[in-house]
A and B are shown apart, each in its own frame.
Chain A
Amino acid sequence: MPQNDAMSLWESLSASAGHPGRGIWAPTSAVRLHDLLAGSTLEGRLEELRGRSALILARDQLAAALALTQIDGIARRLVLCPPDLDAQHIPYVMATAAVDAVVSDLEPADFAALGAERFIQCSSAVTPAAISRGKQRPTEWVLFTSGTSGTPKMVSHSLSSLAGAIEGGGSLGGAIVWSTFYDIRRYGGLQIFLRALLGGGSLVLSSTEEATADFLARAGSRAVTHMTGTPSHWRRALMSGAARRIAPHYVRLSGEIADQAILDNLRETYANARIAHAFASTEAGVGFEVEDGRAGIPANQFSHPLGGVELKIEDGSLRIRSARTAMCYIGNESTALVDADGYVDTGDILELKSGRYYFIGRRGGIINVGGLKVHPEEVEAVINRHPRVQMSLVKSRKNPVTGAVVVAEIVLKSAPAPGDPTVENAGVKSEILEDCQRALAAHKVPAAIRIVPYLDVTPSGKVARPNA
């Protein structure tokens, strides 16, 4: 896929940085974009990265954001490490992506043994510097796919494949302030970072060290207008009691299935916001965005693609072809990213019900109950409709009769009313069970339900699934 001749991040910024109030705000530090145009966070050594394959490995999210802004258009390749990259994989990553320069806020000594030709210290503080950028080139962006354990999997993007926005975001007039529960070193967050920078906006960064309520208060104090996260992120926001600290015009969910319950909850909380749920993945790019407030995708979006994205379903799973898909995997020649027609198989299984397609699960996540298939997500969707349910996880339990049965772990919205909590919970459990019996085939109904205080959420903001 040809790299297009879109402007680099820096060129776009210098063309539009006019508004001196634009900034990127982290919990304990902040940078005015205006200052970045006349300074450096790379010890003034940007030129040393020209034509190189640069590994961006920063503990600090803001430092990573600023490094990306400067290096795009100069380096041949950017390899953006996610915050939880296991240090033992760094040599593999460097070898596979032919890294010959490391940009990091860690100590140079940490990299001495890795044999990179150049080490450049990055930070989140801008030092005034005269920067001559010379000739720009299209930079290849290498990202890590989410949801993998073991050896990291990397895919190749261009700035244009990453930054291409589907409908949405839109122009509101006035200052756009983006924020996201995602980390910008992952695809979901990176998209928002790029849209903020390229679209003339500002950005409030989240942090795993910050309580959700504190983050929402901080985002609210910056008058955030556009906010994105996974359904699990949003459930956590609603649970934090601080959801109304922000009053966004635009609320976006992606990365997991947006069920009707979370859409309704957000609608109730943000009565005037546009609420969109979107499909996007590191490999397939942005697929679609749905704004009618209902779960699922209207079937006519398959025949009338938006923004040049073509969708189809083959063997039950969603396939996407667009200029926003990644170009290829890096260093894993055995796997083709796209099929012969240029479609990426997302592995997400869809089912058509009365004019809409609904996600019912992942191809690999199926539970086999005596030969009958169950997608955990379709059961979760029913459970999540109960008003007391905050979130749920449906999984397989080994069983001597049917091989496996479906079991559910459920987090309730608030502590039960005064009285005996076990009695209260028993009532909720039997209500949920009845809901499932009404809506689902018998083998899909959880054989056992456990009320748990919390469910683990992965670093990328999704409910942690066994074997995911």
Chain B
Amino acid sequence: MSDSVRSTIVSQFGQVAREQNRKLAPLSDDLVLMDSGLDSLCFAIVVARLEDALGFDPFGVTEDARFPVTLGDFIKFYEDAAK
């Protein structure tokens, strides 16, 4: 499951970057999301796509969820919600 969440997230980052003509920084767990090359709209799209792809939206569950800072946080946030 973890692997599939991670790979779905990574592939969405690439897909949205291509659609929005953004240059995506090399993805690593300590990459700060705001330095990834994606803007807010891109992240909004990534979250919406992940909801359809994974069947859940971790942000919808916790009202006060803070948006993850690094890619590693982001993936962990989704992996925790998938458990």
Q: Which residues of A contact B (CB under 8 A)?
A: 369-370, 397-402, 405, 407, 433, 437, 442-443, 447-448, 450
Contacts and interface: CB of A to CB of B under 8 A. Distances in A.
B65 interface: yes
B51 interface: yes
A448 B67 CA distance: 20
Closest 4 CB pairs of A and B: A447-B48, A400-B59, A401-B44, A402-B44
A399 B40 CA distance: 11
Contacts of A397: 48, 51
B41 A369 contact: yes
A434 to B, nearest CB: 9
B49 A448 contact: yes
A370 B47 contact: no
B40 A402 contact: yes
Given A433-B19, A437-B19, A442-B20, A401 B51 contact: no
Max count, chain A CB within 10 A of own CB: residue among B20, B41, B59: B41
A399 B43 CA distance: 10
A407 B41 contact: no
Contact of A447 (B40, B49, B60, B65): B49
The range of chain B's interface size is 10 to 19
Contact of A448 (B19, B40, B52, B65): B52
Given A400-B59, A400-B67, A370 B48 contact: no
A438 to B, nearest CB: 12
A370 B44 contact: yes
Secondary structure type dominating chain B contacts? helix
B45 interface: yes
A286 to B, nearest CB: 40
B48 A405 contact: yes
Given A398-B60, A442-B20, A448 B48 contact: yes
A370 B41 CA distance: 8
A168 B52 CA distance: 47
B51 A370 contact: no
Nearest to B39: A442
A400 B48 CA distance: 10
A401 to B, nearest CB: 4
B60 to A, nearest CB: 7
Given A370-B41, A433-B19, A443-B41, A399 B67 contact: no
A400 B44 CA distance: 7
Max count, chain B CB within 10 A of own CB: residue among A369, A397, A437, A443: A397
Interface string B44-71: 1101110110000001100001010000
A450 B60 CA distance: 19
Contact of B44 (A433, A447, A450): A447
B49 A370 contact: no
A401 B40 contact: yes
A427 to B, nearest CB: 15
B65 A400 contact: yes
Contacts of B51: 397, 448
Contacts of B41: 369-370, 401-402, 442-443
A397 B45 CA distance: 11
Max count, chain A CB within 10 A of own CB: residue among B44, B52, B60: B44
A433 B18 CA distance: 13
A400 B60 CA distance: 8
A426 to B, nearest CB: 12
20 contacts: A369-B41, A369-B44, A370-B40, A370-B41, A397-B51, A398-B60, A399-B44, A399-B48, A401-B43, A401-B67, A402-B41, A405-B44, A405-B45, A405-B47, A407-B48, A442-B20, A448-B48, A448-B49, A448-B51, A448-B52
